[in-house]
Chains A and B, each alone.
Chain A
Amino acid sequence: MRYLPKSAEDRAAMLAAIGVDSVEELFASIPEEYRLTRDLCIPAQHGESEIVARFRGWAEQNATGYSSFLGAGAYRHYRPVIIDSLIQRGEFLTSYTPYQPEIAQGTLQAMFEFQTMICELTGMEIANASMYDGSTGAAEAILMAVRVTGRSGAVVARTVHPEYRQVVTTALQHQGIQLAECGYATDGRVDMAALEAAITDETACVLVQSPNFFGTIEDVAAIAELAHQRGALLVVSVAEAVSLGVVRPPAEADIVALEAQSFGVPLGFGGPYCGVIACHERFLRQMPGRLVGQTVDRKETRGFVLTLSTREQHIRREKATSNICTNQALVALMATIFLSVYGREGIKELAEQNLAKTAYAAGAFTKAGAKVKFAGAPRFNEFVLDLPKGAEKTLAALLEKKIIGGLAIGKWYPELGANATLWCCTETTTRAEIDAAAAAFAEVR
């Protein structure tokens, strides 16, 4: 086996040093009746070229050469090539969690830079070193709000990503937390009257997403005011992080649960992505996950360490703020490099291109006979489109032309009808692709 660095003589010499005759003796503690005496039924050893060929075959069975208007929580942004060249340095790729700071300063300093960038972008005071993803981060943010307030209920907007809402429901089901849903108004944003009615004195927090699942931007300040009036916190989930380049940060929120996939992380069929929780400093002790802090060594040289670990499971066990251990460090590093490349001006310009493409597409599709829903509200790079000739039929016709159209969302929002679809344009979407999709609408009978 080519990954194993031992000759037969090495193995014999080591067995002799241990004082056993065969390797089998080392497994003597496994009761005989449970020892596997046959080969596992898995594919035989592959040569490296065979492995590559096999995965190439699988890769080709997926969509390649299609233009795509899919978003809905997973966004196709251009990934600068230095991201992959840098994260594939073995010192980043093959290092462990930085519990030994003297030999992990590279990872620690990069995480400190990540935490800083997330604070700048979200308008929060502190950020952790990452969570699994946006969905689990949202659930953890609610748990945090419950610990902070000592209350036991949460109001979740229906405009939060349906899969995030499912994860929240699953994660909180055994915590005795009452979840209430709040609907949306005719402009596709949180129904403020319904929200006001849903918040009670037992509400620990309100969870909204902005831009929300329909792509429209919530009035975070007004929602925060409603929540705060009743002593509840506001948790804002951000699934499309590039929006922060041009959309006001949710600074009135108490906790922000961000999905950083948009910052240079490949779509990768849904993962690995990169969640992160940012919040006000006063909630520091309730923060889940790892935190990197600045300190000095004996010679007063600046350095970084994992800190405040008395919140975490390896110290606090069942009283920890979360059971999370392994996080998404390497993916957070991708995001850090992405944000270094674009920087203060680039992230804005990038976001503006998303805005422009989306505005153009909404106009072109409207002209082609489709109807943009919630047209009155501000939006970032997604919109809900009603396909009057039938969503199923229209999307199938587009596929014939190698266009993957928007996502049918009727299964989650039956009230929007069977023809509601969610479309996304990013800086990678070309005018030609938008025009081709618009032209294809016209041809559907």
Chain B
Amino acid sequence: MAGRKATTHVNQNEPLLFEQSARGKRGYRLPKLDVPAVDAAKLLGASARADVGALPELSEIEIVRHFTRLSTWNYAIDLGMYPLGSCTMKYNPRVNEAVARLEGLAEAHPYQPEALSQGALAVMKSLSDCLIEITGMDAITLQPAAGAHGEFTGLLLVQAHHAAQGNARRRVLIPDSAHGTNPATAAMCGYEIANLKSNAQGMVDIAELEKMVDGETAALMLTNPSTIGVFEPEIHKIADILHAKGALLYMDGANMNALCGKTRPGDFGVDVMHLNLHKTFSTPHGGGGPGSGPVACKKLLEPYLPVPVVRETAGGKLALDFDRPQSVGRVRAWYGNFGMFVRALAYILANGPDGLRQTTEDAVLNANYLRARLEGTFELPFPTRTLHEVVFSDRAQARLGVKTGDMAKRLIDYGFHPYTVSFPMIVPGAMMMEPTESESKAELDLFVEAMQAIAREIELDPEMVRTAPHTTRLQRLDETAAARKPVLRWKPEQV
């Protein structure tokens, strides 16, 4: 309990679990053993364990208070706006949570007989059908556990396709505006990475692309709309250039919230793409996961999809098909993050075709409204028409010594989560905002007022902004010290 003292807010001073532990406290009671007890030391011999170490010992009320108090130190979508660009922090409907906890779904064992798994397989089949229709693709795997895992799976399909054509090809093109996962994924697939420079508008430089694509180009990994929120105007030309040389177009679907119901990647030349169910399809982000990253593809890549795939049998039953000789293999045990499939499907059912379209329209409307209202205050590096997100630059404010990261921290004092800082890298001092469809006009107006107020504060008192936030339980944390001498776990001797 070192350092613990009563304050006006006891919940502002919650120790670690280990610091509240005392021998003999209990938070559990197991049922009475209905079979003869065994002597573990005798049964296990040399493999027996004497002590499990410093796990905490606490009563139930202490555990409930501990985590409830910790929770009050978090910001969350349920509290307010989260304008993080490309993260699509939208409302997470609670009915999704309710249906995911239905016993027959939550307690289903992945190896229970197929005949007793028809409901789970129906969820997978229904979601697959919906996502194939939404993307305009031909086939899908739900197995990848997150977006980056989906990228990996997608590139494995690309590699398998080229290998089947006789040359596995060695290079993947990645624009300089891409998410960091794209080059990291390509490296994990053993590809050489060629950096595709953006043009003056921040978009794909078509002439440069034409020069770069050759017989060793496996694919272009393209985020569309791009990370500056702009739809690639010559998307089909991009696809044609790649296809003419036998290369494929991979689309990072992080920004799919700008497209659902308005246009389909499968219709504009994309060969393979991943979706983020925890972005576009409302499954909760949970402080960093779990996600889910289904990969949809065109027919030419279907034979290579991971095993198993769900298919309908002649008798109208659903079955898992493992007999796929050209498959790239398995990317995860079992079938993927099934609980996320349930939530995403519940979201799609709640929306229907008209709801998904309206959602996309509202997301784009919100971003454009922010852009229109903030354009005079912050510099817009690219005048191009944007969809679901907008990227400003801190240039005007940086002249007064206040950077994008400082303004982001000051937003916290106004009750908002910061926007995305310093990304994409093609914009110096980037301030990237994606409000999503979940924000009302009133909430957006408050956000605009906060941003304008911060801009004024910078002129009057830049130091105050540079040292924000001022209203949180903790002030800016020393990240350099954390990295220099890493303390990654609690140790008993600290007490």
Contact = CB atoms under 8 A, between A and B. Distances in A.
Interface stretch (B230-238, B295-303, B395-403, B450-458): B230-238
A399 interface: yes
B145 A136 contact: yes
Contacts of A110: 67, 70
Interface string B324-338: 000011111111111
Given A14-B365, A52-B98, A121 B53 contact: yes
Interface stretch (A36-44, A201-209, A226-234, A436-444): A36-44
B158 to A, nearest CB: 11
Interface string A75-110: 010001010111111111111111011111111011
Contact of A119 (B151, B191, B335, B489): B489
Which of A18, A64, A97, A103 has most B Cβ within 10 Å? A103
A323 interface: yes
Contact of B490 (A1, A4, A112): A112
Nearest to B467: A298
Contacts of B185: 323
A272 B489 CA distance: 25
Given A34-B263, A40-B356, A106-B70, A116 B489 contact: yes
Contacts of A68: 109, 112
B339 A317 contact: no
B349 to A, nearest CB: 4
Contacts of A94: 76-78, 92, 284-286
Interface residue range, chain A: 35 or more
B286 A103 contact: no
A62 B53 contact: no
B483 A308 contact: yes
B262 A74 contact: no
B72 A4 contact: no
B329 A318 contact: no
B45 A167 contact: no
B63 interface: yes
A86 B62 CA distance: 13
B441 to A, nearest CB: 4
A328 B290 contact: yes
A29 B239 CA distance: 17
Interface in B43-61: 43-49, 51-58, 60
B73 A105 contact: yes
Contacts of A2: 350
A26 B387 contact: yes
Contact of A271 (B54, B111, B337): B337
B384 A271 contact: no
Interface residues of B, number: 202
Contact of A96 (B52, B276, B287, B306): B287
A340 B27 contact: yes
Contacts of B287: 92, 95-98, 104, 107, 111, 329-330, 333
A270 B365 contact: no
B137 interface: no
B187 interface: yes
B112 A63 contact: yes
A359 interface: yes
A441 B251 CA distance: 54
A329 B286 contact: yes
A247 interface: yes
Given A117-B55, A294-B487, A307-B486, A346 B358 contact: no
B423 to A, nearest CB: 8
A29 B104 contact: no
A13 B441 contact: yes
Nearest to A61: B119
B159 to A, nearest CB: 7
B109 A70 contact: yes
Given A36-B261, A113-B18, A100 B112 contact: no
A42 B119 contact: no
A369 B230 CA distance: 69
Contacts of A293: 482-483, 486-488
A399 B369 contact: no
A296 to B, nearest CB: 6
B183 to A, nearest CB: 4
Nearest to A210: B47
Contacts of A48: 95, 350
A11 B99 CA distance: 32
A170 B290 contact: no
B314 interface: no
Nearest to A107: B287
A293 to B, nearest CB: 4
A396 to B, nearest CB: 9
B417 A100 contact: yes
B30 A84 contact: no
B272 interface: no
Contacts of B134: 40, 42
Nearest to A317: B183
Nearest to A102: B472
A378 B68 contact: no
A351 B44 CA distance: 12
Contacts of A62: 104-105, 108, 112, 116-120
Contact of A45 (B45, B58, B355, B365): B355
Contacts of B66: 340
Contact of B148 (A127, A247, A313, A355): A313
Contact of A322 (B104, B188, B353): B188
A153 interface: no
Contact of A60 (B52, B119, B359): B119
Contacts of B129: 42
B70 A105 contact: yes
Interface string B179-214: 111011111111101000000000000000000000
A329 B289 contact: yes
B394 interface: no
B70 A60 contact: no
20 contacts: A1-B351, A3-B93, A5-B438, A6-B440, A42-B352, A45-B351, A46-B350, A90-B79, A91-B76, A94-B285, A106-B72, A106-B73, A132-B332, A133-B145, A268-B105, A307-B479, A346-B30, A352-B37, A359-B36, A404-B116
Given A62-B117, A303-B474, 16 more contacts: A3-B350, A34-B264, A42-B352, A91-B75, A101-B479, A133-B145, A175-B188, A267-B106, A293-B488, A295-B479, A295-B482, A296-B481, A323-B148, A326-B146, A340-B27, A352-B37
* Top-9 shortest CB links A-B: A270-B334, A330-B286, A59-B104, A90-B78, A61-B119, A329-B288, A174-B190, A45-B352, A170-B329
